Structure 1
Amino acid sequence: MSEEIRDEGRAQGRAQGQAEGLLLILQARGIALTDETREKISTCTDPQLLHRWLTRAATATTTEDVFTEDH
């Protein structure tokens, strides 16, 4: 297995972990998620964007608070 493939797999794993964490935080905060929102989070592979969403989710009261700047 080449190092490039291994690095890509690690990045995908990190993104998946961030997405799962984001869904968990939103659920714990009692923020209702649509299927569309779940899909948006689950299919995102940009670690910087997921990090931004995670940061916002910590204080969000709605999904709009999480995604506001991304429209």
Structure 2
Amino acid sequence: MPASWARRDRVVAVRGNRCSSEGGLGEGCQREIWKKIMKTMSFGYVSELRQEFRAEGLADGIIALLDKRGVRFSDADRERITSCLDPEQLQAWLLKTPYVSNIEDLFKDG
């Protein structure tokens, strides 16, 4: 049986490297209902690439705000911000950025 055929016992169709639970539903009303249900569900998995892009965006925001406010920082400070991949830490720095007058205040705990 080719991999693209749906297995009726598991209602799973394999297409290339993707698995789809809608494959065994055929065309019609059931398939459309399945698609609507799947669009409303959120899945806990976040890819590493997405996490990196999010971290990069937060770091860019911090750097932009510091620049806009005229807060001076070194290349080492920039590297510390842009190399951080912890979204909670980046979020904390981003929220502090509008209130700091120097870079040391940004990196202080609390």
Give yes or no for TM over 0.5. yes
2:88 maps to: 48
Q: What is the aligned partner in structure 1 of residue 73 from structure 2?
A: 33
Which of the pair has more CA radius of gyration?
2
Shift of 1:40: 0.2
Select the structure that is richer in strand.
2
Q: Which has the higher contact order (CA 8 A, sep 6+)?
A: 1
Name which of 76, 93, 102 aligns with 1:62.
102
Q: Which has the higher helix share?
A: 1
Q: Which digits, 9 at most, give the CA deviation of each residue in 1:25-61, with x for residues without a partner? A: 0000100110110000010000000000001101111
User: Among 4, 7, 10, which residue is 2:50 paired with?
Assistant: 10
Please, what is the CA RMSD of the aligned residues?
2.0
Percent identity, aligned pairs only, is 34
TM-score (norm 1): 0.86
Distance between the aligned counterparts of 2:67 and 2:105, measured in 1? Answer: 14
SS of residue in 1 equivalent to 2:95:
helix
Structure 2 spans left out of the alignment, 5+ residues: 1-16, 19-44
